[in-house]
Structure 1
Amino acid sequence: MTRRAEEIAAKIETFIRDVIVPYEGDDRRDRHGPSDTLVADMREKARAAGVLTPHILADGSHLTQRETAIVLQKTGLSPLGPLACNTQAPDEGNMYLLGKVGTAEQKARFLDPLVKGEARSAFFMTEPAEEGGAGSDPSMMQTTCRLDGNHWVINGRKKFITGAEGARVGIVMARSDDGACMFLVDLPDPAIRTVRVIDTIDSSMPGGHALIDIVDLRVPADQMLGASGEGFQYAQIRLSPARLSHCMRWTGLATRAHEIAVDYANRRMAFGKPLIDHEGVGFMLAENLIDLKQAELMIDWCAGILDTGSLGTAESSMAKVAVSDALFRIVDRCVQVMGGNGVSQDTIVEQAFREIRAFRIYDGPTEVHKWSLAKKIRRDWKTATA
């Protein structure tokens, strides 16, 4: 690991523990997530501390994926940490995509406010499953776009769009005659209408997850991201690192939940001795250590693959499956160790359980990634035996 990444990570850890953890009791939150005023307050503190958008350097270059791993893990030590430091989804993934695909003009208009932490963004891809729309299979996309003069006209419905409420930058996926396309849009726009914000198990994302109707949205042609028909290719540029970034952040939160459970198990007495001295509890915490280390190693391995310039689709699928399942085992054990306190909101362990449970579904549920890997195994076998 590089010295610069270690120094950034250490600075972030101090900031999260000393400045952001006290915000966890702030009442500027509802069941859908923190308010934008709370986010703005925390980002001002992060800006003053020099830890805002730490994965993007002053010259616009990015840390390597391996460096990003330890930095994002530290921001994840609090559910509010990624928001404070501007490393949260979907913004972090959208910044990465724009940095790779956007034109100079698009970067100046849409990327710069995101990097500065002055705006939030939303990624409009998923559609209602009950209407046969795109989810884990983006080829089922029903949202359409057609060229009308020097504008594209977009119509469709999107679902589970994270952070759409309050976002200023949108990336909208739609299908043209050429195939999938991506468009950059200014938000809010009267043609993009929130039907409702859906009540979900998690509550760490500002704006929650919305059901959206897009009705005759007109987007200037120069706001198409890349070329018509290449949207799925761009989605992979975004999604492979984004899956790994989720693993990084939630590993930080699972680490914090484990710390809380360890402290509880050492202080809580039962049957004449601390809980940790009972094998049933001590062994669960030992298993946590094993899962945490395996998660860190898997993240580091996959990050190294991405740093070679490979898309790393199979590797990111493996990491998503292994890490999300390991982290869920960790937080589940933390809840169990803490008993009634584990299911209360007196600590962040209960929220960590909810957030990481949701993580096993978004950015592709475990079963879809396993199915994709099985297809690769089949292809590789055919190649090897041809």
Structure 2
Amino acid sequence: MKSPFRRKRRLNPDGTMTLIEHVYEFRNRLGISLLAIVVTTVFGYIWFGTPFFGFPSLGDVLKEPYCSLPASIRPELAADGSCRLLGTTPFDQFMLRLKVGATAGVILACPVWLYQLWGFITPALLKNERRYAMSFVSVAAVLFVTGAVLAYLIIPQALNFLLSIGTEIQVTALTGSSYFSLVVNLIIIFGVSFLIPLIVVALNFAGVVTYAMLAKSRRGLIFGLFVFAAIATPGQDPISMLSLAFALTLLFEAAIQICRFNDRRKERKRAAEGWDSWDPDAPSPIDTTPSDIGGPSDIGGPSRVDGPSEVDGPSRVDTPAPATTRTATTPQPQERRPEPPVSGFDDIT
């Protein structure tokens, strides 16, 4: 039985769905991504100590920068003289293998979870935005791998500098947990940092920043990249700091030139469409040319007014008829007649 969001997506090519269908789709795509990471993590856990298809084990690959150091600055911990790292607790071996396997699983499963992420956000993008987004995702993968390879190549030089200081007094015995944490963190930080110039290019294509703004702030931005490299590198050694800073500076300069080319392309397009002289921030022009009002219109002579109309007499106003029924049973007072005056003749008679 197919999920309802797939039926909805097939019926609506534009990808419009309800909120519940979006939640269902996010749940399914997240489940597929986590399942792929679990499978690749199991593979990375096994690959840590087992070679596959003629390739060395993952543990040997990550241990190679340490084993390439001179024997004078790294102690021999194994009886047979082989290159080994130090473990101090019983669970170091298991936790180290699980941590490296999980990191390798996330990296190996990136095609799956990137595809699921791409499938979730694609319906919300326009056609040209999808084309740009696919290009940016591809370039981001290449930049991340390039940064990881650069970090792997400078690890021997960084460790040689750190471990060769004060060798006449002590010899540093690295534990497997500290060494592999340094290697994994350095690889991830270099890979993620190489995406910063790509973000600058994306902001320029979106119209947020321009070449003029970047060129004006070039010195301050480069100084910020050096400060970021000094803070972000886990080893705190000058070799990894300077390597990351110079690599980011070169990539940032390349990003500025791409922004310059993109801004020139936009200007040529605006000039071809006739919008070159139009400033979007300026108010629209107002036509102040006086128009022809013309002469005064003919009002005409005075019109004839008729005499007063004959007014009829006052109209008869009907008065309401008296009510024939009484509204109350209260008796009405009787009229008293005045008594005759009393005179003195009556008394004589």
TM-score when normalising by structure 2 = 0.25
Instruction: Judging by fraction of residues, say which structure has more strand.
Output: 1
Q: Which protein is bigger by CA-based radius of gyration?
A: 2
